[in-house]
Amino acid sequence: MDQMRRRVYGSDHDDPHPYAEPGHRYVALIGGPLDGLLIDVTGQSGEEIAEGAALITEIGAYGPGGRAWYSARDGDTSRWYWDGDSP
């Protein structure tokens, strides 16, 4: 799928431009409640990208305010894989 037509994490449902933008760096989210979205990592260091993140989501196991944990695997920093949910 063309990365420029994938929705970006954090964009609202009524956002007129919810897709990836030229000149930004994105990581694909794989699995879990945010599967298929991109996250903008523009300006983050390689170490920060390799660490991953706990992303707020309303659709995870803990409902509104819960977190979905994503991280890179095997040195591939172009994708973050779902590690589980937490409150």
| Range(s) of the domain holding residue 61 | 3-86
Distance between CA atoms of 3 and 79, rounded to whole angstroms? 12
Instruction: Give me the pLDDT at residue 12, please.
Output: 85
What is the pTM assigned to this prediction? 0.89
* Overall number of domains in the chain: 1
pLDDT tens column, 7-25? 999 998 888 889 999 999 9
Helix (H) or strand (E) holding 49: helix 46-51
Closest CA to 33 of 73, 63, 6: 63
Q: Which amino acid is at 32?
A: G
63-78 mean pLDDT = 94
Which residues, in sequence order, are CB contacts of 5 under 8 Å at separation 6+? Answer: 19, 20
SS (H, E, C) 69-80: EEEEECCEEEEE
Q: Any idea which residue has 């706990």 for tokens?
A: 54
